[in-house]
Structure 1
């Protein structure tokens, strides 16, 4: 568990988080809609989220992915930060993704969380590189990445299916070691 400020900790997803994740996603549904795939109605249920937690824990156990939750002092989940698609061998890389609750924006939580994941990826996982992608107009996320030492490495046309459309993304990387 990593303390990001007086009111928030970052920790790995754990069994039993499904209901809190469902509340977090439901509360932030409109906030996240422009940045994420179109979600099914089931996605917003505790049952669906708890199944995803089970997969996330299995991914952590196998070293394929590390999904974290940002938890406020009231016990509610206020964001997610993930290291996905962990590849070992000669590549030693992962994809970074994150979101912060709409009520917690502009507090520096994304920047501090990304810094902690960089540290975790380098020191705990011995990764060489992290990659992140943002929609072209997601300037706030691009600022977080730039402040954390990521550099832009290119443009990926029609990279992800977001908000019902194939959308172009800016690609960033951070070399860790």
Structure 2
């Protein structure tokens, strides 16, 4: 499994990934806009990701297996440079790839990029309090919980708590 920045050549496969997993993702996170779920929407999203990377605002990656099949997505958003050198990590893994170490591997590789090539110093992440698998992925990759926000995320007509995590670049 390897992370790759998305390109326009990935659009059809990325659309298939999103459509195949839409119901699974939307069970725990808010839905993307309806316009996203078409080839034009995915192409626009890839263009936006490329533009964000060009101006150091955010970085998106696709997790692919050895056959080039998309297993998941991982990203760094809200990049802050001056005085912070930080970003926020997010990821989503295909339902069929859950429980196989894909999320842990995606986060491990993304931290390597963040603390290496991108020279970031701090990465934050959060997950719903009931998402124990995601919390384990973060802890397994060196994140430490630093907070718990109550009723901070609305989904499906209800409010949910979130756990907040941080990971710092190794000192060297």
Shift of 1:163: 4.0
Inter-partner Cα distance in structure 2 for 1:101 and 1:79: 6
The residue number in structure 1 matching 2:74 is 81
Q: What is the TM-score with the length of structure 2 in the denominator?
A: 0.91
Deviation digits for residues 48-85 of structure 1, max 9, x if unmatched? 11101000000011111110001234433221000111
Inter-partner Cα distance in structure 1 for 2:14 and 2:35: 13
Structure 1, gaps ≥5 residues long: 1-7
Deviation larger for 129-138 or 150-159: 150-159
SS at match of 1:27: helix
The residue number in structure 1 matching 2:58 is 65
| Aligned with 2:2 (options 9, 19, 26) | 9
Deviation digits for residues 94-143 of structure 1, max 9, x if unmatched? 00000111111111111111111111111111111000010110000000
Q: What is the TM-score with the length of structure 1 in the denominator?
A: 0.89
Shift of 1:14: 1.4
Structure 2, gaps ≥5 residues long: none
CA contact (8 A) 1:19 1:45 kept: no
Aligned residues: CA RMSD: 1.6
The residue number in structure 2 matching 1:51 is 44
The residue number in structure 2 matching 1:130 is 123
The residue number in structure 2 matching 1:117 is 110
Inter-partner Cα distance in structure 2 for 1:129 and 1:49: 29
The residue number in structure 2 matching 1:19 is 12
Inter-partner Cα distance in structure 1 for 2:39 and 2:151: 31
SS at match of 2:75: strand
